[in-house]
Amino acid sequence: MGPYGDPRTPRPVVRPEPPSSAPHLLAVGGGKGGVGKTLVTANLAAALAQAGRRVVAIDTDLEGANLHTVLGVPAPRVSLADFVAKRESDLRRLIVDTPIPGLRLIAGTNGHLGTPQPRSFRRVALLSELRKLPADHVLVDLGAGTHPSVMDYFLVGDDGILVMTPEPTSVENAYSFLRAAFYRRLRLAMTNESARKLVHQAMDQGNQRGIRTPLDLLREVRAIAPEEGDRFATAVQSFRPRIVVNAARTAEDVRLGFAVRSVCKKYFGIDADYVGYVNHDEAVTQAIRQRRPVVVTHPSSDAAVYLVRIARKLLDAARRARGGRPAPRSQAASTSSWARRPIA
Ligand SMILES: Nc1ncnc2c1ncn2[C@@H]1O[C@H](COP(=O)(O)OP(=O)(O)O)[C@@H](O)[C@H]1O
Ligand SMILES: [Mg+2]
């Protein structure tokens, strides 16, 4: 008989956490530097904390760590650099408080300049530690570029947000980021070494084997390892990057998110989700000077209103995912529609 089967054992007033109490993991990337990844991370984290959620934000941009600054923690005692350098193996001991109730931080650095990205073994340890953090949501701020470590943080999350600004350079980097994430995800899903090599070859657009579309790739994968076919399709269908257009100034800027979503569908067969845009807003600059998220300092500014709206959408999506309800049919791309498109 369990402890609560005995009438003498008092029942807890608050129901114990369900076994799946691991935090919801949300990674914020974007390929390019300066597009607003840290802004989005800090403000979504603050908005979720303001909604009563327990949040830990973590800065994995070890070379350009500045999440602590925008959250008002000027000199963190400890940081992720301690984990990378193996001075600390328990991520929980690297958490510091921020001035925002409910929001805590693992800073990227506490004075060590240019800490290199963790090597792959350390990265695997880090990724599993993230799931043990005492929080409802863990928000991961990513560095620029498409380094495998950045990709791994992006792909390990329950949700991955891609931040871009309406500038050709940002859009270009966002596409290379998505492309790198798409193929890395496929490669990681393959258990057969030859199938993995094939995915690697397909990443080269001018590859000698003539693989031009995801369908070509799937056909070749099936030919050498038939059992990998289903894993391939599942990996594609379950990849659902969320797009945020930041620093929007015009209606056309706002439409960029829809255009990116169409390109994702057309070329990769993936269903990206345009979760919203954030205006270019002077309040953002002022908030950064005050070292606080704009949702805290200027809650009625355009930027804050849109950031809170995005946070709410993500929260709803996370709740639906946790509730275990099946995704609507439209989210499941059929092989025929996605796989014939050329690889971008
Ligand atoms: N919506 C916005 N409105 C005004 N300025 C912004 C906005 N988003 C970003 N910025 C400016 O861009 C800078 C870089 O943003 P940041 O979040 O640090 O980029 P990243 O983390 O992608 O390198 C900020 O310090 C801020 O000055
Ligand atoms: Mg940043």
pTM of the predicted protein model: 0.86
Kindly state the helix (H) or strand (E) to which residue 161 belongs, with its residue range. Answer: strand 159-164
Burial of 335 (0-12, 13-18, 19+ CB in 10 A): middle
Pocket test for ligand 1, best of 32, 38, 39 (most atoms within 8 A of CB): 39
Residues 6+ apart with CB under 8 A from 88: 78, 82, 94
> Can you tell me the mean pLDDT for 215-231?
88
Closest atom of ligand 1 to 39 CA is: 17
Closest atom of ligand 1 to 246 CA is: 1
Closest atom of ligand 1 to 66 CA is: 18
Decide whether any atom of ligand 1 lies within 6 Å of the 288 Cβ. Answer: yes
Say whether pLDDT at 28 is over 60.
Answer: yes
Closest atom of ligand 1 to 278 CA is: 1
Decide whether any atom of ligand 1 lies within 6 Å of the 167 Cβ. Answer: no
pLDDT at site 117: 78
For 50-75, what is each residue's pLDDT tens digit? 999 999 999 999 888 999 999 999 98
Say whether pLDDT at 342 is over 60.
Answer: no
pLDDT at site 115: 67
For 272-294, what is each residue's pLDDT tens digit? 999 999 999 999 999 999 999 99
For 72-116, what is each residue's pLDDT tens digit? 999 899 999 999 989 999 999 999 999 999 999 999 987 766 667
Q: How far is the CA of 222 from the centre of ligand 1 (A)?
A: 44
Q: For all residues of the chain together, what is the average pLDDT?
A: 86
Say whether pLDDT at 340 is over 70.
Answer: no
Ligand closest to Cα of 283 equals 1
What domains, with CATH codes, occur in the chain?
24-168+240-317+332-339 (3.40.50.300)
- Count the helices and strands in the chain (H runs, E runs): 14, 8
Say whether pLDDT at 243 is over 50.
Answer: yes
Q: How far is the CA of 280 from the centre of ligand 1 (A)?
A: 9
Confidence bin at 335 (pLDDT 50/70/90): very low
For 5-27, what is each residue's pLDDT tens digit? 444 444 434 434 444 689 999 99
Among 38, 43, 26, CA closest to 302 = 43
Ligand closest to Cα of 279 equals 1
For 121-165, what is each residue's pLDDT tens digit? 888 889 889 999 999 999 999 999 988 889 988 988 899 999 999
